[in-house]
Amino acid sequence: MKVSILQENLARGLGIVARAVSTRSTLPVLANVLVATDNGRLKLSATNLEIVITCWIDATVEEEGAITIPARTFSDLVSALPQARVELELSQETQAVHVACGRTEANIKGIDAQEFPLTPEADGADGVRIGAGGFKRMIQQVAFAAATDDTRPILTGVMMAFEGNQLRMAATDAFRLSVRSAEIPAHSQKGTIIVPARTLSEVARVISDDDQIVELLLPEKRKQIIFRLENIVIVSQLINGDFPDFTPIIPTKYTTRTVFSTMALLNASKTADIFARESSHTARLHVEPGDELTPPQAVISATSAETGNNEAVIDANVDGDGISIAFNVKYLTDVLNVIDTPQVALETTTATEPGVIKPVGSEKFTHIIMPMHFGR
């Protein structure tokens, strides 16, 4: 193998596949990145057996070939190189890659490409084509609500339900739930799958402004999903099992509906977290409907036994009774960070029942947070 590539392209490609590299594996080859020529381009691929990320970068190929080399070493080296053309040459005898760029030369010892797990192909399955930017936003609005500890593996996943021309995505860690739906072009896909939230976060991460379309492929009976972008393919295992039925936990009515400026509520929440950190991120929200003399308002406050306390008053439109309710303020900032509308509504019933957060003027996104309760 003998190729030359621009240093910045190589660095970007390695950055894309790096997240799939196994950091703790008994298989040494999984700590490596596959470097191979492929139809006049250079293919980089890494896997931890749960997810495979492959990307193709423009290259000048003088001699075909393939090898795997330690991902960490290769990435560190490439990022230290000057912005110039990088020459890679594989020595068949020593299985080492000679790297030359400017006046720097290096040799990296490799492992035979034959030992690298095969990248599954899509075998011509029918794909679902979705606008890449919109899909990225869907992921950002849903995946953060998935569980980060793997004690209940189902909850580390994001449900994706294909219903006609609707795609519905949902995730929950049992304390909060994010549900987002979108219209998608006609396709032949049906049913519900659970995709690891980690995979989707990687997909969102690698979608760039240049990407128009992401194609989702679900090869028959393979328990896998493939995300295809212009120069990147991500293959992931699906999570087995049934996603919890969350429809009964979505409240159908409320006694108070409070509308805030999204930014004002986000800022107040961030401020409250300074003092809420030591009390399990608990911030109290007090909504006052107001009367002839006083305008409606909401007060967000947090108290720390050690550092102090704070209180922020924000304007609100209140429909219904006053309420005092406490939330993990991190959960509030998480969802407010991904709401695109200038106004956001919070629907509440009592201090121990879930609060529902919706962007005002959009029916596509619903987020539900269970409150904090004082004492046992």
Q: List interacting residues with another protein (CB under 8 A).
A: 148-152, 154-155, 172, 174-175, 177, 244-246, 248-249, 279-280, 282, 303, 305, 326, 328, 352, 354, 370-376
What angle, rounded to 10 degrees, do the helices at 197-206 and 132-142 form? Answer: 140
CB of 247 to another protein, least distance (A): 10
Query: Of the candidates 317, 268, 253, 328, which has an alpha carbon nearest to the alpha carbon of residue 288?
Result: 317
- Pairing relation of β-strands 60-63 and 2-6? antiparallel
d(CA 29, CA 31): 5
Torsion sign, CA atoms 200, 166, 244, 191:
negative
Q: What angle separates helix 71-80 from helix 7-18, to the nearest 10 degrees?
A: 150
Least separation, in Å, of the C-beta of 339 and another protein?
21
Supply 280's token pair: 């399990």
The CB-of-50 to another protein minimum distance in angstroms stands at: 15
Q: Is 61 helix (H, G, I), strand (E, B) or coil?
A: strand
Sign of the Cα pseudo-torsion (181, 149, 202, 355, in order): positive
Distance of closest approach, residue 158 Cβ to another protein, in angstroms = 14
Q: At closest approach, how far in Å is the CB of 253 from another protein? A: 18
Unique residue bearing structure tokens 């084509």: 129
Q: What is the smallest separation between the CB atom of 22 and another protein, expressed in angstroms?
A: 16
Q: Considering beta carbons, is residue 129 or 330 the nearer one to another protein?
A: 330
Residue 201 CB, nearest approach to another protein (Å) = 17
* Least spacing, CB of residue 174 vs another protein, in Å: 5
Token pair in block for residue 123: 């075998």
Q: Is 241 left (phi over 0), alpha (psi -120 to 50) or beta?
A: left
Dihedral sign, Cα of residue 217, residue 142, residue 280, residue 373: negative
Closest CB to another protein among 363 and 374?
374
User: Judged by CB, which is closer to another protein: 206, or 272?
Assistant: 272
Rank residues 103 and 376 by Cβ distance to another protein and give the closer one. Answer: 376
Structure tokens that stand for 197 in this block: 């939230």
Q: How far is CA 235 from CA 43, 161, 224, 274, in A?
A: 15, 18, 7, 40
Q: Cα–chain-centroid distance for residue 103?
A: 39
Q: Which amino acid is at 105?
A: E
Q: Which is nearer to another protein, 165 or 280 (CB)?
A: 280
Taking the least distance from each CB to another protein, the nearer of 142 and 372 is 372
**Backbone φ, ψ for residue 27 (5° rounding):** -90, 105
Give the SS3 label for residue 79: helix
Cβ–Cβ contacts within 10 Å for residue 7, how many?
A: 18
Is 124 or 375 the residue whose CB approaches another protein more closely? 375
Which of 96, 161 has the CB closer to another protein?
161
Closest approach of Cβ 318 to another protein, in Å?
A: 21
Cβ nearer to another protein, comparing 8 with 311 = 311
Bridge partners (DSSP) listed for residue 359? 344
